[in-house]
Structure 1
Amino acid sequence: MTNENGEYKHSENDKGRFVAGELTLGKLLFFLVLTLAFSGFGPLSLFAPVPMAFAYILYGALKTSVVGIVVVGALMALATFFPAAAFLGSQAGVFFVAMVFGFFASHVIAKGQRPVQGLLRSGFIILSAVLLLVGGVAMVSEVPVTEQLNSVVTKTFETALESENVKSMLAAGGPEARVLEMTLKNPADAVKLILDWSFTAVFVGIFFTLWLTLFLVFRNTFIWKDRHNYPYKLKDFVNFRTPDYLIYPLLAGMGLILGTEYIGPWAEVVGYNVIYSLGVFYFFQGFGCYLAFLDFLSIKGFLRTFLTMFTIFMGFKVVALTGVLDLFFDFKNKLKKKSRNEGDII
């Protein structure tokens, strides 16, 4: 719940203290610095919304947003006035995106929403905002979006070809160097690839990032549970069930891919976009089955954490396929029944 100042109402324990001590400005800055650190390390930026979500949950929307905007402004100022710090501009962008995802993840907790319902609602709100933003820019811009994208990609590739690192890589030769050179000298192919996969990248990126953020928030409830009377747990979040009717558009997407030769090249693009977009939901369902399997094997502690994170990033296709098959075989219930039966025998 929120009060009139936009801050979340906290349900404190008897002592009214946070498990790690009082909520000081220094700890808020620690969460933001942690977000900033993740924002600057490529793939690790996927975890940037997590500490930001904790900040929003503990300190409220108003205070966290104000301090976060100050950080973004400071980064943009440094990037503008100091050429050597130009990279901070992109880092500020990632930091702002982390603020958005952190806010929506914390909103699920603050409003007491059901975890799955909150995930879907927040995900579609963010997706709608992105589509409206892109559509608005396309409507007011005198230059078509495709031409703008082509100009940006071409300029970026030309700059890359002039950099010393790329020149040294190309001079070294080898298959990777030839692929890199071919890619940089054909920006039109890159533009087509971006346009073909932009919707799927945005759709999957939004829902997966929000899901991962919420997953880690629920995995670490000890950080905030004394401050919020939130009735749901991690098991409620991973108990994701994809509606049965989504199997029909999934099959339609597969049909488009198989019929590309007869329908046209566009069918393959649309088919794969449909499959990957729906696949993220089947991944959520399959991951619940995977955790049930780990429970069945009684795997806990560090090994469970390692297997969980490894599977998220390396076995996502198998997990998504498991989610599809779960519609027909109901793996979780079968594992529970088998576990109970074995317990009776023992």
Structure 2
Amino acid sequence: MINSAPEEKLKERIKELLCLYQISKIISKSNNVNKVALEEIIFSVVKAWRFCDDSIVEIQINDYTLATALIPKNNVSQHSEIIVSNKVSGFIKVYYPQPKYNLNHFLKEEQELLDTVSFEIGNYIEKYQNLDKKATLRKTLERKDRLSILGEMTAGIAHELNTPLANILGFAELIKDETKDQIIIDDIAKIINSAIYSREIVKKLMFFSCGMPQQLQLLKIKPIVTDALTFLKQNFQKKSVQYQLDFQDDDIIAKVDSIQLTQVLFNLLINAIYVAPKNSIIYIGVNSDEENMILKIADNGPGVPHEIKQKIFDPFFTTKPVGESCGLGLSVVHGIIKNHNGDIEMIDNTPSGTIFLIKLPLQ
């Protein structure tokens, strides 16, 4: 260890205290963890070292790797790990160039200062991670509250609409059977089609509001998927779209409600067919890990614009023209998957299109 005169030691302690004061100010005025704040911190640290004109400070944390200058190939360094939530998340290092300096040029007090700085940085990052988690949790709870209220409303609406829709369909069919006037028959056909479309909306409202009971059973997944594809055969042919079905294991078994899983497949595949280019292929893959059955549906359509990605599972949100969708399909899918204790994720396909990735517990 290189000896220092009392005056020099005092000077070094003042530099260290000034460094900690500056870092405290940087952290207190920062609204989040960002590159600017971390740069200010390392430039404050570099001034606190004994040979500050030759010292270089580097920090690696999260997605950031920053340094006060280019790090020489030949160097000596002292470092301290940055701990966030009891895990090593990065480090902060101070370098000296060799052969001008060696490890003896570092002071024990400088290592203690570096440990204090890394501790403060760890607390700084953990604080904002906790704030982000709280904000996310608050948004989730607010959304659940809104969906709960909306669910009660839609359940009531669906119940009230069922009876008049049944009357409309019944009397329309009766008029159609008893008239010979082609104009009236054509008009009645429009009424019937509109009533059937409205009835489908009511069904989706019932799903959305959890009005449909759930019967979870351990079932083979392949027959459910192949049956759904058989029902949608005409939809594929009409759009001149094909599908590729890929099963990792034909005997995958998961605990599901077969009717609700079929509803999920219908909604996702109908959406995929709607956006798929002519003569393209929709990929349906089913595999599993130790805990989950994983369902993947990928199309080559135009994809989902970034600005609406967070809205696609919201009830009544749709990008389709008026009359083609009520905006409940993906909300129903989301609700069913969550009721199965599963997860659904939408990601971009390459080079274009959308992938829906669903995970459902095997047990």
TM-score (norm 1): 0.25
TM-score (norm 2): 0.24
Point out the structure with the larger helix share. 1
Point out the structure with the larger strand share. 2
